[in-house]
Structure 1
């Protein structure tokens, strides 16, 4: 059985997509405590998925520009950026405030999608520096974050907030690990 030549890249990007989607998942758990209709849940997931495509795209454009200008130093910078994002994600999981500060309708939905996908911009920045396959990245980041958002919203209806803390910790740890991998080689 032939193995795709970029299987390692698919696996790495899948783990990164899961790590980034964990932020949306954990926030969606808290938001799932708000009574939401299934149509609203579906829309929220699609919008979050789209933002997890747009943000890394913007980051990749900037990252590729920086890579052409600065060369090898940008790889180390991208790794450091991933580690800092992971640490921030891990630290935010230790905060006790799990309730969403906004209602996911109209501007609130855009604000929600932006807030859970901002880290995707920074990750896109480092991925643009490393030169990964763009379409594969977008498909994985968008679909995984959309599915994790749906899962978080639906689970939030059934479960209290303790899972959100642990999922953000795992996501932060994964980002730190990939940042170290990028720095070490």
Structure 2
């Protein structure tokens, strides 16, 4: 009988990690949706998705290992910093609409790393909690990484299609999405 309970516990842990991976990757999807409204090439979409996936692999892994050492306060500080940076990025997107030049805020170079870091901050916090509960690190980081790659690619591709339909209003929507998500990180809503 104890083997059956052990299998159920492992299955419950897998389901929990998959749900958690989906939840922490949804921000990558929503922010990618906003970024995708710019004319991003398929090669850039592929590259951005892979880098986001790598960060969603590293951040929860670091969080899991640090879970026993760090307090929950550290995770909250990173969320506030991420929220401020997202608001700044969103404002920059909105302001570029009113410029006459064709500059854009498509993440390139180090911008891809900053973007990936921002959307993976919550996976660090999730990793902290998984570390406290002794979750299997390999399973968690593989789930987090693959889920974030898929959702990032989906968001960028859907946003790219929306841009063709919405034009300048799509770019405005993308900036508003980033600002709203940044505010959500700074001011947690009670629901």
Normalised by the size of structure 1, how large is the TM-score? 0.68
Matched position secondary structure for 1:11: helix
Q: Matched residues in 2 for 1:4 and 1:135: separation?
A: 19
Change in 2 beyond 3 A, CA 1:152/1:99: farther
Indicate the residue corresponding to 2:145 in structure 1.
142
Instruction: Map Cα deviations across residues 109-144 of structure 1 (whole Å, 9 max, x no partner).
Output: 111101111111111111111110111100100000
Alignment RMSD, CA only?
3.7
Q: Matched residues in 2 for 1:37 and 1:103: separation?
A: 10
Q: Matched residues in 2 for 1:32 and 1:51: separation?
A: 19
Q: Matched residues in 2 for 1:6 and 1:112: separation?
A: 33
Q: Matched residues in 2 for 1:149 and 1:98: separation?
A: 21
Quote how far apart the aligned CAs of 1:4 are: 6.2
1:51 aligns with 2:58: no
Q: Matched residues in 2 for 1:98 and 1:24: separation?
A: 18
8 A contact 1:64–1:128 mirrored in 2: yes
Instruction: Map Cα deviations across residues 27-49 of structure 1 (whole Å, 9 max, x no partner).
Output: 10111011111111011000000
**Greater Rg by CA:** 2
**What are the within-5 Å matches in structure 2 for residues 158-173 of structure 1?**
158-159=161-162, 160=170, 161=173
8 A contact 2:28–2:151 mirrored in 1: yes
Q: Matched residues in 1 for 2:125 and 2:60: separation?
A: 7
Q: Aligned to 2:131, which of 122, 128, 131?
A: 128
Indicate the residue corresponding to 1:71 in structure 2.
none
Indicate the residue corresponding to 2:14 in structure 1.
10
Q: Matched residues in 1 for 2:144 and 2:64: separation?
A: 13
8 A contact 2:40–2:106 mirrored in 1: no
Quote how far apart the aligned CAs of 1:18 are: 0.9
Q: Is there any run of 5+ residues in structure 1 with no aligned partner, and where?
A: 67-73, 177-185
Indicate the residue corresponding to 2:98 in structure 1.
none
8 A contact 1:48–1:145 mirrored in 2: yes
Instruction: Map Cα deviations across residues 45-75 of structure 1 (whole Å, 9 max, x no partner).
Output: 0000000011111111111335xxxxxxx7x
Matched residue count = 156
Q: Is there any run of 5+ residues in structure 2 with no aligned partner, and where?
A: 95-103, 163-169
Normalised by the size of structure 2, how large is the TM-score? 0.66
Q: Matched residues in 2 for 1:7 and 1:98: separation?
A: 44
